[in-house]
Amino acid sequence: MFNITKLEWTREPLSYDITDGKIEIVTKPHTDLWQRTYYHFRNDNAPVLQMRTSEKYFSFIVKTEFDSKHRFDQCGVVMYLDSENWLKASIEYENEKYQHLGSVVTNNGYSDWATAEIAASVKSMWYRLSRREDDFCIECSDDGINFSQMRICHMWNVSDEISFGVYACSPEDSSFKAVFTEMDMTDCKWQAHDGQQPD
């Protein structure tokens, strides 16, 4: 069960409001999460709101709604361990025609970014983050029922206890409101692989 009262900030946003079952974040300009790869810069100032768990097998689901309208505005699900080890999934606004639905995994201080272009008119998305020990799966859904895989990854420096939750940021000179609802922590929905050792 997801307990909203257990959430803790790693950097607070410009403004926010937390009520029973709902989180609203207004982003600060020039906030982001990225480490080194391709751009060479290191950005580690996005607001992150998380809870801790030592559960090795679970799924976390959250619905995001957003009025992003400036390049790179983004909000979504996150597992932030420290500045050089984290993952996130979000929709990043690009222009009036399209935006990027994608995920970033950062291990040992180097980020990657996997994306797919979607219509700029999309202003809502569900995410599901699942853990199986040191491996993670990120999925997305436009209805909160049918989820599609975005990414499977391994985190090299994960410990028994991790932190996970939500984030929102505006890497350029902009600000927007992100709304998070329908948060839930469940048994792991990412099932063991069928038909291949060792599962």
HEC secondary structure over the chain: CCCHHHCEEECCCCEEEEECCEEEEECCECCCEEECCCCCCEEECCCEEEEEECCCEEEEEEEEEECCCCCCCEEEEEEEEECCEEEEEEEEECCCCEEEEEEEEEECCEEEEEEEEEECCCCEEEEEEEEECCEEEEEEECCCCCCEEEEEEECCCCCCCEEEEEEEEECCCCCCEEEEEEEEEECCCCCCCCCCCCC
Given this model, what pLDDT does residue 194 score? 78
The rounded distance, in Å, linking the Cα atoms of 143 and 140 is 9
End-to-end CA distance of the chain: 27
Given this model, what pLDDT does residue 1 score? 73
Query: Is 0.85 surpassed by the pTM of this model?
Result: yes
CATH of domain 4-186: 2.60.120.200
For the chain, residues with pLDDT lower than 70 are 196-199
Phi, psi of 194 (to 5 degrees): -100, 120
The rounded distance, in Å, linking the Cα atoms of 57 and 135 is 10
Judge whether 151 and 138 are in contact, CB under 8 Å.
Answer: yes
Hey, where are the domains in the chain?
A: 4-186
